[in-house]
Structure 1
């Protein structure tokens, strides 16, 4: 099984488990999904390192070229509010710090988007730019962005759900600041880039993974034709 298929298979299996145990709540979901993913990765890729939101960070990953970066349950709040579907499972592989393989499962929508079979980005929608933002913690600059670009807001939960919303044609831009970690964005970035979207930091610089400090606070995913105008607005 190649890495792309493995990522998709693992994300799908974790998503199915999370659906089965959803009534037990987010804490149980985080733990059980993490246990499953770590076990399956150890079996399938025993020589690779893993960085997980739900496991202690092992510095051995800094000595490895191949590091799986996983978020066993992205959007724990939304997962705990059935029947919301804006939560996800992230499984990614960074090679030399680059997000080369990724899968984002959206179990509530019965979807797994992955780099092995990239989706074609949905056609542009007429009307104002649609900005996917956190439904509970929108960035402080949102009002400025909306004013600059005459944008409208699309609130939702998981970072993975927001990034995939751009691929699926539900939003045009996902921009985030104010605190994320590598596991929040690695899989969504890999999948979005494979689909042809623009991915970067908010200042336009590249995203690097498997860093000593996994804190990676900001992110931009958007339709490629909007990258210039969006970056200009963000840098004002």
Structure 2
């Protein structure tokens, strides 16, 4: 199955997900807190997930399934290709009535993402990529920022990532810090050149990262874990050891500044 055909399916699914999510008013949607401090979930997350879990495996019955809102099964580990899905990335933002939440859909083949969509229906932004075919937003090509000095680089990261214990010499390098609640959207904004990098030192679920990984790489960027190792997906425990995603020159500088044996930040994001 060509990656382009999987991408067409993901685009169709993402648009259908947006139609469902937009039927809910975030602040009025029923909301629960997941056990073990895993964050909130709303009835919209579950409705979107139910539609996707019906639509996508039906279209690709030989693919495995990994979603934030589905019970995990080790059966997926025996499949060459697997859907990696976050029905709503940025659930807290959705529940607050913000526009900054996304549907994140990806297909990985033997650990590598080959088709990906990040869709923000409230912002009317649909990012897409297929392996070897470039990255796009609303059908227009996107690319990472050209080389720039780090102090002038805008980096999407949370404040805890600036703690001195994570950086060589005891202090984070100088850059322009910003933040967005959705990890998928952070990756997309690096891919479209709006920001030079995104960094999270927390362990991160694969469904938050998979689509953005391909999008950013197809836009000319570099994605690794916090130690500089390339990202692989469909792991038995679907967690990554932090994420550093950036234009190549910025990635090199930030990676060199990180303490290689740093403790990381427990939990997510």
Establish whether TM, by shorter chain, passes 0.5: yes
By how many angstroms is 1:67 displaced? Answer: 0.6
The match for 2:120 among 89, 95, 106 is: 106
By how many angstroms is 1:140 displaced? Answer: 3.7
By how many angstroms is 1:16 displaced? Answer: 2.5
By how many angstroms is 1:197 displaced? Answer: 1.0
- The 8 Å contact of residues 85 and 108 in structure 1, kept in 2 or not, is answered as yes
The match for 1:223 among 247, 250, 255 is: 247
Write the mapping of 1:1-236 to structure 2, written as runs, cut at 5 A: 2-23=5-26, 24-25=28-29, 27-82=42-97, 84-116=98-130, 118-119=135-136, 120-121=142-143, 123-124=145-146, 128-134=152-158, 138-141=159-162, 148-235=172-259
Q: Structure 1 regions of 5+ residues with no counterpart? A: none
In 1, Cα distance between the equivalents of 2:13 and 2:232? 23
In 2, Cα distance between the equivalents of 1:228 and 1:100? 24
In 2, Cα distance between the equivalents of 1:142 and 1:58? 36
Identify which range, 124-133 or 204-213, moves more after superposition. Answer: 124-133
Q: Structure 2 regions of 5+ residues with no counterpart? A: 30-40, 137-141, 261-269
- Indicate the structure (1 or 2) with the bigger Cα radius of gyration: 2
Count residues with an aligned counterpart.
232
SS of the aligned residue for 1:157 comes to: coil
In 1, Cα distance between the equivalents of 2:73 and 2:120? 28
Q: Deviations over 1:6-35 (max 9, x none)?
A: 112212221222122134435111101100
In 1, Cα distance between the equivalents of 2:195 and 2:43? 31
In 2, Cα distance between the equivalents of 1:189 and 1:206? 10
By how many angstroms is 1:139 displaced? Answer: 3.2
By how many angstroms is 1:85 displaced? Answer: 2.2
In 2, Cα distance between the equivalents of 1:91 and 1:103? 5
Alignment RMSD (CA, Å): 2.2
